[in-house]
A and B are shown apart, each in its own frame.
Chain A
Amino acid sequence: MGKITGFKEIARRDGSYAPVAERIKHYQEFVIPLPEAELREQGARCMDCGIPYCHNGCPVNNLIPDWNDLVYDGNWRAALDALHATNNFPEFTGRVCPAPCEASCTLNITDNPVTIKNIECAIIDKGWQEGWIEPKISSRRTGKRVAVVGSGPAGLACAQQLARVGHAVTLYERNARLGGLLRYGIPDFKLEKHLIDRRLSQMLAEGVEFRSNVEVGVTISVDEVLRDHDAVVLTGGSEVPRDMETTPGRELDGIHFAMDFLTQQNRQVAEEHIGDNRPILAGGKHVVVIGGGDTGSDCVGTSIRQGAASVTQIEIMPKPPEMENKALTWPNWPMKLRTSSSHLEGAERDWSISTRSFKGEGGRVTSLELIRNEWKTGPDGRMSMAEVPGSEFEIKADLVLLAMGFLHPRHDGAVDGCGVEKDPRGNVLADEENYMTSREGVFAAGDMRRGQSLVVWAIREGRRAARAVDLHLMGESSLPD
């Protein structure tokens, strides 16, 4: 399998980006893929490990060595089948996944993992391009009806799986268009939205009924949904953002949640002019992004495209190491400094910083008062933070974006409407085996259940929940776990 000595002979090569000056002028994707020959060569670097650590590293347990080899072999069609065997939407993960698989790749011990994500993306893009992707329409009907509430990646995966074994699936979405976070949260320059549309088209053919602009528990009663369906799966997102209520000046104008900022931009790109799509514009402004994660990074890239005067991203935690201690982390997901394409587009980053207050003029924010922290590890191994006396400083800020993560799903609407129990963190309580909530026939999956996470985790949850639902309805299931 693969080329036995490929990893020694072939250097890692990944796709490249279009130049910054060029790419920040638009909202389109800017990854320049490797030529096919080179990409196949990259597949040859896979060693067909006796234990493929990537398998576990990947939440959907993609059959990575198999399709790496098939790509090396030029057998794209079979590679596509292998890819689809575990992942409904490789075109999404192939673009936006942080690729924990690559972190767990054996070659990452020497920091040269196989370019798994890139290969994944190439396979699925080729699949679409060649017209190999067709609806898989179930040849039988079970007569069971399932409602899936929330059309993010978890809901989409769940709905597709259920439809393929013959259930009648209704997919509810409170927004105008389907896709959830994929549609509204991830900027177009990372994931162009026509990719979602063609998948929806496939699902439509497979029999999924889409009901957008319907919010369960609000525009339609929970009881009605429960009455009309044999099972309900809650697949909403983790939508309640972490706030800074206690920080003086929080009420000032110009301080927004990251997701509000990103959503309105996506709607503008999509020319969606409905609802409360009030533009939040960074053009000519000094932008400060609070929070060092992926959402923050997306705010950076979006601000730059909008023409921000400066973009600064600050993080309360200390700066992670540039290189993890492989001996104690591999094959696990390491804590390390991650620099995104957006960061490379011209942002300042700083760490170990707390925000003491927002300052403003005329009700609008103008600057932030910050202070540096010192982190110490206590005797119990826990880290604790202390402010460094005298380290206060101030930076200019015309637009502040809060990107400090999400607490839990919204409780109003479907969650409380269904009356399901919640875990201490405020997520819907259900285990990873059955996915069933405290209410018989009501299931939960994705961020709704596990809290904020990656697209790939959402897909996994959606797939597994579909199997659990199928088992619940039919007594046995032929869906993979």
Chain B
Amino acid sequence: MHGSDQRQPAGLYDPDHEHDNCGVGFIANIKGSKSHEIVRQGLQILVNLDHRGAVGADPLAGDGAGILIQIPDRLFREEMAAQGVTLPAPGGYGVGMVFLPRLKRSRDRCIHSIERAIHAEGGTILGWRDVPTDNSCLGESVLDEEPLIRQIVIAPPQGMTDQDAFERKLYVMRKQSHGKIWYPSRHSEGDETGVFYITSMSCRTIVYKGMVLSGNLPVYYSDLRDERTESALALVHQRFSTNTFPSWKLAQPFRQLCHNGEINTVRGNINWMAARRATMSSSTLGADLDKLWPLIGDGASDSATFDNALELLVAGGYSLSHAVMMMIPEAWNNNPLMDPPRRAFYEYHAALMEPWDGPAAIAFTDGRQIGATLDRNGLRPARYVVTSDDLVIMGSEDGVLPVPDDSVIQKWRLQPGKMLLIDLEEGRIIGDEELKAQLASAHPYQEWLDRTQIHLEDLPEEIGAMSPDADTLLHRQQAFGYTQEDIKQFLAPMGLQGDDPIGSMGRDTPIAVLSDRPKLLFDYFMQCFAQVTNPPIDPIREELVMSLVSLIGPRPNLLELEGANARHRLEVRQPILSNLDLERIRQIENHVDDTFRAITLSITYPASDGAEGMEAAMERLFQQAEDAVKGDYNILILSDRDVNADHIPIPSLLATAGVHHHLIREGLRTSAGLVVETGEARRVHDFCLLAGYGAEAVNPYLAFDTLSDLAPRLGTDAEKLHQNYIKALNKGILKVISKMGISTYQSYCGAQIFDAVGLTDDVLARYFTGTKCAIGGIGLAEIAKEAARRHAITYQGVLQFSGALDVGGDLAFRLRGETHAWTPETIGLLQHAARSGDQNRYRAYAKKMNDQDRKLRNIRALFEIKVSDNPVPLDEVEPASEIVKRFATGAMSFGSISWEAHTTLAIAMNRIGGRSNSGEGGEDETRFKPLANGDNMVSRIKQVASGRFGVTTEYLVNATDLQIKMAQGAKPGEGGQLPGHKVDAWIGRVRRSTPGVGLISPPPHHDIYSIEDLAQLIHDLKNVNPEARVSVKLVSELGVGTVAAGVAKAHADHVTISGFEGGTGASPITSIQHAGSPWEIGLAETHETLVRNRLRGRIAVQVDGGFRTGRDVVIGALLGADEFGIATAALVSAGCIMMRKCHLNTCPVGVATQDPDLRKLFTGQPEHVINFFTFLAEEVRELMAQMGFRRFDDMIGRRDHLDSQAVIEHWKARNLDLSRILHAVTPTAGVAIHQCEEQDHGLDKALDHLLIEKSAPALDSGTPVRIETPVTNTNRTVGAMLSGLIAKKYGHAGLPDGTIHVKLKGSAGQSFGAFVAKGVTMELEGGGNDYVGKGLSGGRLVIYPAKAGNFAPEKNIVVGNTVLYGGIEGECYFRGVAGERFAVRNSGVNAVVEGVGDHGCEYMTGGVVVVLGQTGRNFAAGMSGGIAYVLDEYGDFEERCNRSMVELEHIDEAGPDSGGDVMADMTRDDARRLKLMIGQHAELTGSDRARRILDLWDQYLPMFVKVFPTDYRRALEDQKAASGPAKLEGATVAAGE
């Protein structure tokens, strides 16, 4: 199939969903000295980053690689001379590197377009050069796509001598060339102009890139091997894309940068750029500015878009570093450590541009300067080395270019939000401090701010509206669809507690479009969330990067470099406006000057127009908005306050999004602010949607009125309720935006981070431009009908509701409420069937579940399974005993459910050959051994979730499947929390934590911020347990298919697609209800994308999230699943009755509780569960027989056996279009459509084979061994495979201390020392990268820099980011500084290090960390256990520490000392313990710093601060009181029954 066709959207696949992450690096000679050696070394870096890229089905086709260098003048001068062309002096000519179509007709058009553009701008074409290429190294799948590559050499317009001006002209020429070809008419049939692309057109730099394996880049481009190719810098990039469709354009570097990471807000950023067009003008570009449009879009990736915007800023006169700081600002507003001028700089620029938010390591250059920066949270790694021979080498990891140890003068890392800049003309490194201080002082930003920035709360008091009388209130509530649940489950708890409420179990109600009930428009949108390609953020623990600041009103001209200071800007600290705040805005004209003029536009329309009137009303609204902006109003308040019997409110979301997009289309959006005054919004989700579609602030007056009305009953005053409610909304909004990895409201605003479910493309295109929906759905007519129906219910007096609100019934079953799958009837029938073994009862159950003729509940209800004309006899169908092996129970942790429930499921699944899942939270090791009766309590699937609780090496080797939970259906993008009262002694022991102390699972895996990080974790786990399948659990959302393809390329053996109906033990209701999508959509997309990418055969696909019957299973199989996860139904058959009280520990049937009395009430038996699964398989067999399938495998992916039912009478559902789900991919012959191959994990290359071989005596008989070996950054996960073997043989206890001693030398690859078991010491001379000591399970790690190094180790970096993540036990000594997130989620490792980056000891629950130097910010966030000692020489530690969960104390030599075991009692013996650990550090690493501290002990000791978690101390003291001082830390507890 032709590549470009493959990328066309069809079915559910959409190229817009593609993601990429990657490896970046550069090398530069600080003094600007050019050489071919730099190019060669750049290419070498690329090769050493190879493992960060990926290959798909075609082993020769990488995802793209490239290099950016300075224009090699010698090469061009000689080459052009050969053509008889004499080039002007260097810098006096530009070179364009052009990808051209092979088809001549198309090619000629492109060439013509370039030449015309150059001439139009006054340039002269000096000549063309055919770039020599050798395509013998290309994969067959990219050959088709290979462009013809030529270079064009251009002289500047007459008289133009300024190089910057010439560079700007070249930019205009390039934009014009592209624009002329791409935009007037998209290429038609047989036209190949889509291939056309100019990689660079500059007088300074040139980019060589392509769909080439990184090692083959110089093979393909012989220029790169040419000695005449000289440069002082080389910027390289290796791409890892989630898909494998070749795209030469999307290879990086782009013109000025390469990017590792993901811009989460790109949709909004694109919109805002477009919205600015009308208000933008530039003194440097002048009339040329207009020639740059369309500004964005010469490549569909976020990185390409970012490059487009950056180019504009630079062309508009900002320096490169200034522009990068505008787009990726540091976290400034919550940072007490930032100096005021810099803060002012950022605050000033915040009004100019919203952040481009997301994980990012950007390396950029304009040919004169080269630099790099990290996002505010430091979510991508970047390490650099400075050598004595003037080289700076930067890369995603350390060791990408080996340099002699003695030439290294600095080894450091990029820190969050920081920038590294090398000015080749000045010949020096400009540090972050200097660079930013200089920029911040270039203008009096604070003065400008003081003059222009208005804070809403500083405006004079206004009069806010009072709450109406009870009748009016009720009517309004009804008109806006309030239910009793809204009041009981949302408003009241939010008002009382100030938190977004928590619920449990999953959602089993229909999506809005299938519901009989009028739903709010908000319900047709699902929140998107981060998975794999970018991490979600923890908005609580990492609050410092979060911001709810919103700027209301017109935005300044982006390219106005100095004059913007005249304009006033209105800032609110958070976007929820009280009635009073809203009046301040409404009256702002009277308070400020004429800068602001607010106008209120009604978003209601006459009820007499009926539902049909809404479209016209929208058009009127658009016109009013447009007129208002043109009439110099610059704050629009969209208001539905005038709703009454005669006026129907337009759904506030429709009005907001519609006006937002209308103004964008008219180029007017940045001329005015958008504020919404609505009675409709009340839940967190509602506000997020309004924000996501453009609302800068929202006033939910009806929610406030309702709270005021509740106040007397709730026994508190209205004001307090309002404040708490706003607080709850704020927290909730932060949580939702952080799920997508977005940290600021400003960049979330307009970012449209939602999938629509059940709306037509027409509605989306017109009012929600850019939003996608997989299944079509209702149009404006039905939306209007729903609004009109609510209005009628209210004002035409319906007895049913008079005096009372609708019951709702979304959260809990209510007979007159929303339809649920789990009802008293279905639960009763299933339980009776499971307990009695009576298949007829099961059939009655399945019938109830499957028959949805009257009430639709899910998409699959609309499918018809086509029976065959040639059914097969039932007894010829694969037996149930085989089919049940495809079933697994869901991931439920021991902790969230009881021991009894957990082991019942495990025993049942083991008996039938299925799989049970440990869930997150470890597993009691007693379960690893079979029981006397032959039963087995082991969970075959071991989950590896973000908390890594109890993830020991022993745990990992006792599994057949290792599941990496990226997201959970009920709460994708969120972490979890196990409250202290659920952590009893037993659970504490299994989770390696302290009983009574709450546990926090972070939202992201801190070792997975991108797809290549995931590949690394897969590699780690595969090393520990090579026999186990490694699985990745994803949640259905649009684009999950491309993520799954990336997962397959990252070598996962198995992927789970979870539907949004999945369950949970506790989650914000906002997430349970409004995030993720039905599995039917996600599975269909996944299967299709994998087949298209020829990856389906090598990965097993499991689906879960609401499977209840055999029919569900069959539909899952037909849509493409190999395996099935069934949790809730299995739990119900074991006794769960859907109390939805899991989070409260009060489960009355002993399932989801740890209360000993309630656990006794558990009555489930393995037989019950087995009965259920057997019935399920039998139902599957019956359907298979009817369809004519004998083998389950034959059924997988056979969508031709599905039809969508023609008989949909439903007023909303009849509009659905299921063709995209049912779109059958026609696979090429020989391409698998179910799993039938194995992944190649490349384990044969592991250094551990050598270690294992040499450790044989130790493994066999415990004889000590010592091994020495060199190591490089391509040796990843060293020590894990060896440790897996030890754990298998000796369990967690391992070998005696020091049995295996491995001495290595060099820069180790990622995950050095991961999961190292007891008895193993790894001593590394050199340095480590990210994830050193991940999951350390008892071993010892000693790392120090090369002894020949020319720098002070304590001032240089020795190990990378996220070191000791999930460490269980063991010791570490690191001579030097560690990166960000040191010891995150450490459960028990004792470590000494000489400095750490931001977020040190985050979420730690045990162990002792000694930091002999400075820490970064946010130290100890979420730290609930263990202790840390920090040497606070500068007295600023308190400011760097997040003290919400810890106390700081000084250590006193004379403090309490037990005289006993120094590690036994963390409440005392501090001085002795500290001294001991520092002593060992000195001894093992030779640390001078440790030595000095010991020498001057009396002087240093007072400078140490002990960081002691409050709850931990309390728990230790309680324990001590209960059991006496003898056994404290690590006290073992009897393993229950």
Among A49, A61, A478, A479, point to the contact of B816 (Cβ < 8 A): A61
Q: Which A residues from 74 to 92 make CB contacts under 8 A with B? A: 75, 81-82, 85
- A55 x B1148 contact (CB < 8 A): no
- B1139 x A50 contact (CB < 8 A): yes
Contact A51:B1163 (CB < 8 A) given known A63-B807, A478-B799:
no
- A55 x B824 contact (CB < 8 A): yes
Contact A50:B813 (CB < 8 A) given known A4-B1146, A110-B1161, A328-B832:
yes
A1 at the interface (CB under 8 A from B): yes
- A51 x B824 contact (CB < 8 A): yes
- A49 x B1139 contact (CB < 8 A): yes
Among B813, B1138, B1157, point to the contact of A8 (Cβ < 8 A): B1157
Bound together, the chains give a CA A49 to CA B1141 distance in angstroms of 8
Among A5, A56, A164, point to the contact of B815 (Cβ < 8 A): A56
Give the interface segment out of A101-109, A286-294, A295-303, A401-409.
A101-109
- B823 x A109 contact (CB < 8 A): no
A165 at the interface (CB under 8 A from B): yes
A261 at the interface (CB under 8 A from B): no
B1232 at the interface (CB under 8 A from A): no
Among B505, B800, B822, B1148, point to the contact of A7 (Cβ < 8 A): B1148
B1141 CB, min distance to chain A CBs, angstroms: 7
B827 at the interface (CB under 8 A from A): yes
B1502 at the interface (CB under 8 A from A): no
- A50 x B488 contact (CB < 8 A): no
- A106 x B1148 contact (CB < 8 A): yes
Bound together, the chains give a CA A327 to CA B841 distance in angstroms of 13
Bound together, the chains give a CA A479 to CA B798 distance in angstroms of 8
- A109 x B824 contact (CB < 8 A): no
A375 at the interface (CB under 8 A from B): no
B803 at the interface (CB under 8 A from A): yes
A72 at the interface (CB under 8 A from B): no
For B820, the closest partner residue in chain A by CB is: A51
Q: Which residues of B contact A107 (CB under 8 A)?
A: 1148
B713 at the interface (CB under 8 A from A): yes
- B800 x A104 contact (CB < 8 A): no
Contact A52:B1146 (CB < 8 A) given known A104-B824, A110-B1161:
no
Q: Which B residues from 810 to 867 make CB contacts under 8 A with A? A: 812-816, 820, 822-825, 827-828, 831-832, 835-836
Among B488, B505, B814, B1146, point to the contact of A55 (Cβ < 8 A): B814
Q: Which A residues from 49 to 67 make CB contacts under 8 A with B? A: 49-53, 55-57, 61, 63, 66
A243 at the interface (CB under 8 A from B): no
- A327 x B1163 contact (CB < 8 A): yes
Q: Which residues of A contact B1161 (CB under 8 A)?
A: 109-110
Q: Which residues of B contact A164 (CB under 8 A)?
A: 799
B1144 at the interface (CB under 8 A from A): yes
B148 CB, min distance to chain A CBs, angstroms: 64
A331 at the interface (CB under 8 A from B): yes
B393 at the interface (CB under 8 A from A): no
B1003-1042 vs A, Cβ < 8 Å mask (1 yes, 0 no): 0000000000000000000000000000000000000000
B804 at the interface (CB under 8 A from A): yes
B1137 at the interface (CB under 8 A from A): yes
Q: Which residues of A contact B799 (CB under 8 A)?
A: 164-165, 478-480
A332 at the interface (CB under 8 A from B): yes
B797 at the interface (CB under 8 A from A): yes
Bound together, the chains give a CA A140 to CA B797 distance in angstroms of 11
A138-180 vs B, Cβ < 8 Å mask (1 yes, 0 no): 0000000000000000000000000011000000000000000
B1259 CB, min distance to chain A CBs, angstroms: 51
Q: Which residues of A contact B820 (CB under 8 A)?
A: 51
A351 at the interface (CB under 8 A from B): no
- B812 x A50 contact (CB < 8 A): yes
Q: Which residues of B contact A332 (CB under 8 A)?
A: 828
Among B797, B798, B803, B827, point to the contact of A51 (Cβ < 8 A): B827
- B798 x A478 contact (CB < 8 A): yes
B296 at the interface (CB under 8 A from A): no
Size of interface on B: residues with Cβ below 8 Å to A: 41
For A56, the closest partner residue in chain B by CB is: B824
- B828 x A331 contact (CB < 8 A): yes
A5 CB, min distance to chain B CBs, angstroms: 6
Q: Which residues of A contact B815 (CB under 8 A)?
A: 55-56, 61
Q: Which B residues from 705 to 750 make CB contacts under 8 A with A? A: 713
B672 at the interface (CB under 8 A from A): no
- B807 x A57 contact (CB < 8 A): no
For A110, the closest partner residue in chain B by CB is: B1161
Q: Which of A8, A51, A85 has the most CB of B within 10 A?
A: A51
Q: Which A residues from 319 to 346 make CB contacts under 8 A with B? A: 327-328, 330-332
Among B505, B797, B823, B1138, point to the contact of A478 (Cβ < 8 A): B797
For B836, the closest partner residue in chain A by CB is: A328
B989 at the interface (CB under 8 A from A): no
A48 at the interface (CB under 8 A from B): yes
Bound together, the chains give a CA A272 to CA B822 distance in angstroms of 52
Q: Which residues of A contact B816 (CB under 8 A)?
A: 61, 480-481
Q: Which residues of A contact B505 (CB under 8 A)?
A: 50
Q: Which residues of A contact B1138 (CB under 8 A)?
A: 49-51
- B804 x A51 contact (CB < 8 A): no
For B824, the closest partner residue in chain A by CB is: A56
- A51 x B1137 contact (CB < 8 A): yes
Q: Which B residues from 1152 to 1166 make CB contacts under 8 A with A? A: 1155, 1157-1158, 1161, 1163
Q: Which residues of A contact B1149 (CB under 8 A)?
A: 109
B168 at the interface (CB under 8 A from A): no
- B1139 x A81 contact (CB < 8 A): no
- B800 x A480 contact (CB < 8 A): yes
Bound together, the chains give a CA A104 to CA B820 distance in angstroms of 18
Among A1, A75, A327, A478, point to the contact of B713 (Cβ < 8 A): A75
A455 at the interface (CB under 8 A from B): no
Q: Which residues of B contact A480 (CB under 8 A)?
A: 799-800, 816
Q: Which residues of B contact A61 (CB under 8 A)?
A: 815-816
Bound together, the chains give a CA A52 to CA B814 distance in angstroms of 7
- B800 x A8 contact (CB < 8 A): no
A47 at the interface (CB under 8 A from B): yes
Q: Which A residues from 1 to 48 make CB contacts under 8 A with B? A: 1, 4-5, 7-8, 47-48
For A7, the closest partner residue in chain B by CB is: B1148
Among B824, B1146, B1158, point to the contact of A53 (Cβ < 8 A): B824
Contact A52:B812 (CB < 8 A) given known A8-B1146, A106-B1137, A328-B836:
yes
For A75, the closest partner residue in chain B by CB is: B713
Contact A51:B835 (CB < 8 A) given known A56-B824, A81-B804:
no
A11 CB, min distance to chain B CBs, angstroms: 14
- B828 x A51 contact (CB < 8 A): no
- A51 x B812 contact (CB < 8 A): yes
- A52 x B813 contact (CB < 8 A): yes
A395 CB, min distance to chain B CBs, angstroms: 40
- B825 x A50 contact (CB < 8 A): no
Bound together, the chains give a CA A330 to CA B804 distance in angstroms of 32
Bound together, the chains give a CA A199 to CA B815 distance in angstroms of 27
B1140 at the interface (CB under 8 A from A): yes
- A478 x B824 contact (CB < 8 A): no
Q: Which residues of B contact A110 (CB under 8 A)?
A: 1148, 1161
For B828, the closest partner residue in chain A by CB is: A331
A452-481 vs B, Cβ < 8 Å mask (1 yes, 0 no): 000000000000000000000000001111
Interface residues of B, Cβ cutoff 8 Å to A? 484, 488, 505, 713, 797-800, 803-804, 807, 812-816, 820, 822-825, 827-828, 831-832, 835-836, 1137-1141, 1144, 1146, 1148-1149, 1155, 1157-1158, 1161, 1163
By Cβ-Cβ distance, the 8 closest A-B pairs, closest first, are A50-B1140, A56-B824, A478-B798, A480-B800, A61-B815, A51-B813, A53-B824, A50-B1138
Q: For the A-B complex with A8-B1158, A478-B798 known, give 7 more contacts whose Cβ atoms are closer than 8 Å.
A: A47-B1146, A50-B1140, A61-B816, A85-B804, A106-B1148, A109-B1149, A331-B824
What are 19 A-B contacts defined by CB distance under 8 Å? A4-B1146, A7-B1148, A47-B1146, A49-B812, A49-B1138, A49-B1140, A50-B812, A50-B813, A50-B1140, A51-B822, A51-B1137, A51-B1138, A63-B814, A106-B1137, A328-B835, A331-B827, A478-B797, A479-B799, A480-B816
